[in-house]
Structure 1
């Protein structure tokens, strides 16, 4: 069996790591195509080296651009790759422009498509990720759902017959890295200047367009983070850095200490060392949950609704609307006493993905 994986952004590279490892223990051929959607070394290269992923077989070098330009660029570049490889499966990951373009190119060439992380829904049609994931789910032949909730969404959309519960491959890699860190086999993360790793701190990220494109909103959000009573390690995504520079907004003020994005193992170590997380990232919400750290999500909704159970995650779309004391109480709240359960699986999802692809191969 030949499987061609299409990846292009940081979260997809993390998901690729356990999938690549699972394929490496079989006789199957696994071809990796990197679209180059994330071309910054902090969001791409370090994940290949840090997670032991084989170098891509094909690098399309698409780079940045509007959603239409980026999606169209990947779509055009994928056609000759798929024509040459003719895989048994085209495996796409998550909700990016690379995912939609990879799926659409395969469908047009009558190649079977499997969608990893199928069935997630935010029900926010302003999010480009929501368009990508819905369109990909309805185009794909096999839907590899991470949770029971995702399975319900797929059933509600008439896709139950194509859906299987695989579990979440992010659990596989997150728990593996966590165990290495706790055993002392992983070096301490390079936190931003001004953050003492041995003292309480919060870890923060912001990158979504709804939070960064309006200078007024971005300034208000950063002001809320800067007013918190604990130091805040802000891992600045290139989008955040660009928007802040464009609008003359200072990322270092008050409690805020900005630094570069971390390699995945460094990120996990930073979460483990923190008192809590403040983010608009879907992946980081789940990683905080898996690592027993409270998360405050700067969005009105989340695809990972399981993290909300018991108060492990709390949605606060407009933190600047709270009084400083109320906001500080939310962001620095203690971890719940209630157990969080295992809604995302047992850490063996990648093996199940390979088995499902074998079972459903045409």
Structure 2
């Protein structure tokens, strides 16, 4: 069996690396194609070292551009590779333009498509990522869902064949790396366990609007009277705060440079609660048994909101939502049992 995996962004590279180990164990040939959409292969990255991430067999070198330009370039170049390699299956990940382009090309060539992280839905429906998800799901033959809600989302759209609840590959990663988490930043800042709130903010809709950003910072400033705020500041956010003259609002917070994954997870394990607009950190908070306040109008990880574990907030109610000491029993198994990659390979072996 020959499988082609198409990636184009850092999280996709990591997911593919986890699956690659399983393909290798089973003796399945897997060819890695990188679209060149986002990420340079930086071999000093902790994931590249620990997961032994390999260089791609092919790099499409599409670079940046408009949605249409990027998607079109990937389609043209990827089609040539599929025509040459003639794989039994094309594997795509997540919700990028790379994902969409790969799925459409494979479907047109009548090569089965498998979508890892299928069934995620989020408002507004006009979001580029949402369009990519929906179209990819509707042309895929194997749909690997990270949660039961994702399965239900597909069912509402009439997709029931080839749908599998396998769990989240990123939960596999979290469990694999948990004993490597570092606590150097936690110790350096002289923090107390459960004595601080971990904050990350970087989304354009939160940091690019001065009125909104000011309100969020004022809410965080109020929270410093309750708990310490540890804020690894994203370059985009730092730039906007300086540009808008908002540095004064940060004076009572622990502002630090972004930290590597292992130290960030160390902070996560020791914090009281998380405030974030990061899709990944919302889930990682759940994995670590911490509640997250999500500063977004909606989230693709809605199951954690519906279960009452995470909560949505905005610039008006962030303080109140964060300090509300709501009681909710920890919901187990939302993203599977940590064996998503094994289950995905099992299905592929039986189906292709």
C-alpha spacing 1:224/1:157, structure 2 compared with 1 (3 Å): same
Contact 1:39–1:63 at 8 Å: present in 2 too? no
Q: Which residue of 2 aligns with 1:176?
A: 176
C-alpha spacing 1:44/1:225, structure 2 compared with 1 (3 Å): farther
For 1:352, what is the secondary structure of its paired residue? helix
Contact 2:42–2:48 at 8 Å: present in 1 too? no
Q: Quote the offset at 1:242 in angstroms.
A: 5.7
Question: Take 2:14 and 2:300, find their aligned partners in 1: how far apart are those partners?
Answer: 18
> Are 2:340 and 1:349 equivalent residues in the alignment?
yes
Q: Which residue of 1 aligns with 2:27?
A: 27
List aligned pairs for 1:67-78, cutoff 5 A.
Answer: 67-78=67-78
**When the two structures are aligned, how many residues end up with a matched partner?**
349
Question: Take 1:41 and 1:225, find their aligned partners in 2: how far apart are those partners?
Answer: 36
C-alpha spacing 1:290/1:7, structure 2 compared with 1 (3 Å): same
Question: Take 1:175 and 1:72, find their aligned partners in 2: how far apart are those partners?
Answer: 37
Question: Take 1:134 and 1:113, find their aligned partners in 2: how far apart are those partners?
Answer: 14
Question: Take 1:305 and 1:244, find their aligned partners in 2: how far apart are those partners?
Answer: 30
5+ residue gaps, structure 2, are none
**TM-score using structure 1 length:** 0.84
C-alpha spacing 1:336/1:11, structure 2 compared with 1 (3 Å): farther
List aligned pairs for 1:331-346, cutoff 5 A.
Answer: 331-332=322-323, 336=327, 338-346=329-337
Q: Which residue of 2 aligns with 1:221?
A: 216
Q: Deviations over 1:282-324 (max 9, x none)?
A: 22111111110110001122222331255320110x23x23xx
Q: Which residue of 1 aligns with 2:164?
A: 164
Question: Take 2:308 and 2:252, find their aligned partners in 1: how far apart are those partners?
Answer: 24
For 1:37, what is the secondary structure of its paired residue? coil
C-alpha spacing 1:25/1:267, structure 2 compared with 1 (3 Å): farther
Contact 1:38–1:44 at 8 Å: present in 2 too? no
Contact 1:5–1:33 at 8 Å: present in 2 too? yes
Q: Quote the offset at 1:56 in angstroms.
A: 2.7
List aligned pairs for 1:1-362, cutoff 5 A.
Answer: 1-39=1-39, 45-178=45-178, 180-181=179-180, 186-188=181-183, 190=185, 195-198=189-192, 200-229=195-224, 230-237=227-234, 239-241=236-238, 250=247, 253-308=250-305, 311-316=308-313, 318-319=314-315, 321-322=316-317, 327-332=318-323, 336=327, 338-361=329-352
Contact 1:71–1:101 at 8 Å: present in 2 too? yes
- Measured on the aligned residues, the alpha-carbon RMSD in Å equals 3.1
Contact 1:12–1:94 at 8 Å: present in 2 too? yes
**TM-score using structure 2 length:** 0.86
C-alpha spacing 1:140/1:228, structure 2 compared with 1 (3 Å): same
5+ residue gaps, structure 1, are none
For 1:32, what is the secondary structure of its paired residue? strand
